[in-house]
Amino acid sequence: MTDPKPSTNDIFAKIRAKAAASAAPESAVNPEAQPAVSAETAPLESGTPVAAPRSTADIMAAARAKAKPADDAQPAAAKPGSTSDILAAAKKPAGSAPAGSAAPKSPADIMASIRAKAGAAPAAATQAGESVLGAAAPAAKIDPSKAAGLSAAEMIKAARTKTDGTPVVPAKPKIALPSKPLPGKSAAAKAKPEVGRRSMLTIMVGAVCTWVVLAWSSMIAASIVSLLATARFMMPNVLVEPPTKFKIGPPNDYAPGTVSTKWQAQFNIWVVNAEVDGSPVIYALSTVCTHLGCTPNWLEGEQKFKCPCHGSGFYKSGVNFEGPAPRPLERVGLRLAEDGMLEVDKSVKFQKELGQWANSSSFVGVT
Ligand code: FES
């Protein structure tokens, strides 16, 4: 007798039993993970509580998982799900990598090598070049076979190079300039020549005041002074002295019996109106002491000339009477001019000891 065709319930019961048998070791390792037993999930043939799929979808999923070959799930798990997964997988130690491949140096290198292996290197290089140089910059295509060993910097450099080898120059940003200069800037531009002139003046003043210019100026001034001194030395010395002949006024200006010191400072003479041998005369005495040349003073109270140097004393007539003076004072020439004025001539001297006072040119008689 042949077995009747199993029903759907029988098929499900068998599957549940197999699933319970496969789940038993896991529940032994982790008792907490054992699912609760219900009447729906309990096995039909045996009374032992085992874990079973809850629904038909779970059962189908488990059946499909078993029906698939074991090696089918492995590549799916090995596929890089995201960038972090790719980096984690690539950053594994060199021992786990295939023999002959070097460990990546940086995340950019890792990405480049992985993308090169995956055949995505040209697209990545193109995108990098476009992002750096802009869409208008024509970048060279990178050979996928060569991109595997390039770093990120080298890939960017290759992207910046044109196909003919010339570097790609990035387009410079255009700066919008105003069509007309601003009022403030135009005023500043007009003020620039003023500043230039001031600075030039400052430079010129500074150049004039330098030590070199001062030294040359001093030397030139000293040379000019030396030349003038030499010219003056070549000329004869001329003494500017008062004239030897001069008029001292009419005889009436000199009262009888008086000594006038009016011309002492200017002409170094005294004018005396006195009687000589019983006759009133006017004569002029030199103010030079006959001792050593000092200037005596007229003492009106003592009616004498007194020399302050050595004490020589002279009478009103000029005769010495005390002190070291060896001889009387000297008279100078005097005459009555045509205009009635007394005229003195100092170029002529008259000495008493020589008998010269008797000369009519040494006095003027008063009537
Ligand atoms: Fe007049 Fe000597 S100079 S007393």
310 lines ligand 1 (CB under 6 A): yes
- Ligand 1: centre distance to CA 306 (Å): 9
Regarding the beta carbon of 66 and ligand 1, being less than 6 Å apart is answered: no
Is the CB–ligand 1 distance for residue 294 below 6 Å? Answer: yes
Q: pLDDT grade, residue 359 (50/70/90)?
A: very high
Across the range 154-177, mean pLDDT stands at 68
Pocket test for ligand 1, best of 285, 287, 307, 329 (most atoms within 8 A of CB): 307
**Same domain for 157 and 51:** yes
Q: For residue 207, tell me if it sits in a domain.
A: no
Does 156 share its domain with 56? yes
> Secondary structure of the chain in the HEC alphabet?
CCCCCCCHHHHHHHHHHHHHHHHHHHHHHCHHHCCCCCCCCCCCCCCCCCCCCCCHHHHHHHHHHHHCCHHHHHHHHHCCCCHHHHHHHHCCCCCCCCCCCCCCCCHHHHHHHHHHHCCCHHHHHHHHHHHHHCCCCCCCCCCHHHHCCCCHHHHHHHHCECCCCCECCCCCCCCCCCCCCCHHHHHHHHHHHHHHHHHHHHHHHHHHCCHHHHHHHHHHHHHHHHHHHHHHHHCCCCCCCCCCEEECCCHHHCCCCEEECCCHHHHCEEEEEEEECCEEEEEEEECCCCCCCCCCEEECCCCEEECCCCCCEECCCCCEEECCCCCCCCEEEEEECCCCCEEEEEEEEECCCCCHHHCHHHCEECC
- How many Å apart are CA 48 and CA 42, to the nearest integer? 8
Q: Tell which atom from ligand 1 comes closest to the C-alpha of 323.
A: 4
Total number of domains constituting the chain = 2
Residue % of the chain over a pLDDT of 90: 37
323/188 same-domain check: no
Which residue of 285, 286, 294, 327 sits with most ligand 1 atoms within 8 Å of its CB, as the best mutation to test the pocket? 294
- Which of 167, 195, 223 is a domain's end point? 195
**Residues 150, 24 share a domain:** yes
Distance 255 CA to ligand 1 centre (A): 29
Asked whether residue 44 falls in the same domain as residue 113, the answer is yes
Question: Are residues 155 and 25 part of one domain?
Answer: yes
Residue of higher predicted confidence among 339 and 193: 339
**Top-confidence residue, 284 or 1:** 284
Residue closest by Cα to atom 3 of ligand 1 = 292
Q: Say if residue 37 is in the same domain as residue 161.
A: yes
| Tens digits of residue pLDDT in 75-125 | 444 444 455 665 565 555 444 444 444 444 565 666 676 666 555 444 444
Q: What is the pLDDT of residue 125?
A: 42
**342 located within any domain:** yes
Same domain assignment for residues 84 and 172: yes
What average pLDDT does the structure give for the chain?
73
- How far apart are alpha carbons 35 and 50 in whole angstroms? 8
Residue 205 domain flag: no
pTM exceeding the 0.85 threshold for the entire prediction? no
Any domain includes 26: yes
Cβ 309 under 6 angstroms from ligand 1: yes
Ligand 1 centroid – CA 289 distance (Å): 6
Q: Is the CB of 289 under 6 A from ligand 1?
A: yes
CATH of the domain at 257: 2.102.10.10
- pLDDT(26) > 50: no
239 in any annotated domain: no
User: What is the domain extent for residue 318?
Assistant: 245-365
Is a pLDDT exceeding 90 seen at residue 208?
Answer: no
Atom of ligand 1 nearest to the CA of 292: 3
Ligand 1 in reach of 329 Cβ (< 6 A): no
Ligand 1: which of 285, 286, 287, 291 to mutate, judged by most atoms within 8 Å of the beta carbon? 291
Atom of ligand 1 nearest to the CA of 307: 1
